[in-house]
Amino acid sequence: MPAGSYTVESRTTRGVDPLERADFWSEHIGTYQSRMGFRYARPDNFRGETVRQRTGTYQLVKYASDAIEYSRTPRQVRQDPDEDYRLLLPVRGEIVLRQDGQEARLTPGTGTLVTFGEPFLCLQNADTQAFILTIPAHEVNGPLNRRSPVAAGLDLTRGLGRIVNSMLNDLYEERDHLSDPQFDAVSDRVVELVCMLAAGDDRPDSPGHLGEVEAMVRRHVREHASDPGLTGTSMARALGWSLRQIQLALQRAGTTPRELIREERLRLVRDRLRCAECEHMTITDLAHASGFSSASTLSTAFRQRFGVSPREMRHRSR
């Protein structure tokens, strides 16, 4: 596996004494998820296994287990704060999630977005297998322009949903052949598509509507983020829409052309700082190659976004 903070870990109850498996599972899940309650249908012989992929930004877990009930109470939310989201997608079996007065009944081909910042109850039947992707809160709250405890009923059988499902499966299948920036880059794209799905039907996808404008703008920014001349006006000219259309489309997503461009450039710098092929580039080189006017401008924005300086990020990656 490539060097860096990206890791893959597997755990299973096989080899654990049947009477100790429930405790083993509670302790194992508790090492990488926030505080929860566990209620086992068969505590005397519980079976479960996980494959966990993670970096400092995202975590993808594929798990399979017997019937179990997970819960997070108001007290646990207060004692162990966690505002991040989880994207939950069953591969086999059925999962029922209740949160904030809503219920999502999930089967293969459907998914839901849930926050650990609110109490919930999650019940799964025997022989369930699922993906759960941990997503930083700001990656969801900004694009959706609201705090959304549950986005239920995400259709993963067609359109963007099917692409999301395929990308998560590919992330899992290629788990032993990914680097730190590769895992984060694909996860970024997954989250972007999930946010578009979670926004609901108020984003029409027919030509000329704001939903398509936003999708095309995001793609254009990804492809041209390193261009120092990229602006809302230049995007409008290149895509054939008015600047006002672009502003309205991004406003619905909780951002602006300037913020979107800065965010994509910061992600580009982050990925290059973690890339061995870019180690010869100075921070000034990276700033200019990623569309920033100077190293100081980059450093200020980078620290605000990621909490560390570019040099500190590079040092950690090494």
- Say what the pLDDT of residue 144 is: 61
DSSP category for residue 182:
H
Pick one of 3.40.50.1100, 2.60.120.10, 3.40.190.80, 3.40.50.720 as the CATH number of 7-178. 2.60.120.10
The Cα–Cα gap between 118 and 251 comes to 26
Q: Which of 130, 206, 208, 223 is nearest to 172 (CA)?
A: 130
Q: In the predicted model, is pLDDT for residue 302 greater than 60?
A: yes
CATH 1.20.120.530 fits 210-317, yes or no: no
Q: Are 127 and 92 in contact (CB under 8 A)?
A: yes
Percent of all residues in the chain with a pLDDT value above 90, rounded to a whole number: 60
Tokens of 246: 């672009």
Summarised one tens digit per residue, pLDDT across range 202-233 is 333 333 457 778 888 988 999 899 999 999 99
What mean pLDDT comes out for the span 55-70?
A: 96
Backbone angles phi, psi at 205, to 5 degrees: -110, 15
Q: Strand, helix or coil at 93?
A: coil
The Cα–Cα gap between 151 and 48 comes to 27
- The domains of the chain are located at 7-178, 210-317
The Cα–Cα gap between 245 and 182 comes to 32
Contacts of 228 (CB under 8 A, 6+ apart): 288, 291, 292, 293
E-strand ranges in the chain read 7-12, 37-40, 48-54, 59-65, 68-72, 85-92, 95-99, 102-106, 110-115, 120-124, 128-135, 150-155
Decide: residue 81, CB within 10 A, 0-12 exposed, 13-18 middle, 19+ buried: exposed
Q: Is the pTM of this model over 0.85?
A: no
Q: Which of 32, 40, 28, 102 is nearest to 69 (CA)?
A: 40
The Cα–Cα gap between 262 and 60 comes to 26
Summarised one tens digit per residue, pLDDT across range 226-279 is 999 999 999 888 877 778 878 888 887 788 999 999 999 999 999 999 888 888
Summarised one tens digit per residue, pLDDT across range 79-96 is 999 999 999 999 999 999
Residue type (1 letter), 23: D
- Say what the pLDDT of residue 202 is: 38
Summarised one tens digit per residue, pLDDT across range 9-30 is 999 999 999 999 999 999 999 9
The Cα–Cα gap between 270 and 223 comes to 16
The Cα–Cα gap between 27 and 295 comes to 45
- Say what the pLDDT of residue 76 is: 95
Sequential DSSP letters for 99-162: ETTEEEEE-TTEEEEEETTS-EEEEE-TTEEEEEEEE-HHHHHHHHTS--SEEEEEE-SSHHHH
Q: Which of 103, 71, 109 is nearest to 90 (CA)?
A: 109
User: End-to-end distance of the chain based on CA atoms, in angstroms?
Assistant: 15
The Cα–Cα gap between 318 and 278 comes to 12
Mean pLDDT computed over every residue of the chain: 87
